[in-house]
Structures are given as structure tokens and as C-alpha cells.
Amino acid sequence: MKREGVLYVISAPSGAGKTTICKMIKSHEPELRQSISYTTRAMRAGEEEGVDYHFVTRETFDRMVSEGAFAEWAEVHGNCYGTARATLEEARLAGADILLDIDFQGAAQLRISDVDGVFIFVLPPSLNELRKRLEGRNTESHDVIEQRMTNATEEIAHAAQFDYLVVNDVFDKAVEEVRAIMLAESVRTSRLMSDLPKEFSLK
């Protein structure tokens, strides 16, 4: 039985653990596609072009915006990030599940554009713990961490617009919860109806 692919959107304030969770999910679900966003942000140590992001100049990003190449895009912490329409279209045509790690503004754009997605918001257990994780990750300067903490309050305020909330306190539990959401969504009646054997003739 072949069902349509599911589009999963995961958002969280920076430092909540979304990237770590997504990597773990990907290792459990090798078939799951991960959308590689376009960004104008500088590459961090350890990141790779075409693996973590497509790193582009502001000029290239603006051109892609004007050509309508993005299904959604937003400015986050002073840099631009966007999801290519082509990436979503390829997954749809292949019937593949795809995971988008994007901010709440991008998630809101997809929602209003009527994309049939499953929207998950990852919360840190507390703001204190969020700060500890940002500091512990050691990838941003003090000023950038302060900016991300200020933005976190605004981002968390949008959590209620998501379908599911996952509190990333104990890491393994958070991963298990995201996987449980995916399992449940994969057998949602509306996704299976058109692919059931005709002899069932459901009403």
C-alpha cells in the first residue's frame, strides 16, 4: 500500500535542541528527506555546503525571492533563510516524507498557503536551560546569544499555533515523542483512504 508523503515542519527557539533531535530522527528514519534550506548566514565550523544549508549571497537570495523560488522564507536573527518550492515538489512527486527545520514565521507562511503539513514545536524545559544550551553549544558570541534569548520569548509565544508541542527535557523522550507523532500521522485516515484496496468500499 502506497500512501502520500507527509510534510513535517519542526520549529523551536534557537538552542532548544531541534537540530540534534532532527539528526537523531533521521538516523532512525533513513527514508525521511530533510529539506536543505537556502541561507545568507555564514557557514559555521563543521558545516558543509549542500548538507547543512545552501549558503548563498544576499543578492542570490533576493533574486530567488523575486523569482518566487521559495515556498516560504524569513529573516531570522539578522539572516535570511528559505525553503525552495522545488524541494517540496520533488518530495511530493516521489511520495516521500520530508522534514523542514524552519522558524515560526516560515511555518506560519506554509500554514496560510494551505500546505498539508504536520506542525511540531519543540520547547526547552525553561528559559534558563535554553540559555545554558546556547552557551554550552559554544557556536555564537555573547551578543548573538543575548539576541537569540530575546527572540526566544517571541518565538515561544507562537507555540500554540502548532499541532504538537514537544518539550525537549530528556532528549530520548523528546525523540520518542516526535517519532510517535510521525507514526500516528502516517496512518491518519485521510492519508490512507485513497490507497486502500477497492474491495473494502468504505463509506
Q: Is 85 in the site for ligand 5GP (CB under 6 A)?
A: no
Which residue reads 536573527 in cell numbers? 77
17 in Cβ contact with 174 (< 8 Å): yes
Q: Strands, DSSP E only, in the chain?
A: 7-11, 33-34, 38-39, 54-55, 70-76, 79-84, 98-101, 117-123, 164-167
Q: Is 71 in the site for ligand 5GP (CB under 6 A)?
A: no
Q: Which is nearer to ligand 5GP, 89 or 194 (CB)?
A: 89
Q: Which of 106, 120, 104, 123 is nearest to 185 (CA)?
A: 120
- Residue 185 CB, shortest distance to ligand 5GP, in Å, is 20
Q: Is 8 in the site for ligand 5GP (CB under 6 A)?
A: no
Q: Which is nearer to ligand 5GP, 26 or 191 (CB)?
A: 26
Q: Is 72 in the site for ligand 5GP (CB under 6 A)?
A: yes
d(CA 46, CA 40): 17
Residues interacting with ligand ADP, by CB under 6 A? 12, 14-20, 133, 136-137, 168, 171
Q: Summarize as ranges the residues that interact with ligand 5GP (CB under 6 A).
A: 14, 37, 41, 72-74, 76-77, 81-83, 101-103, 105-106
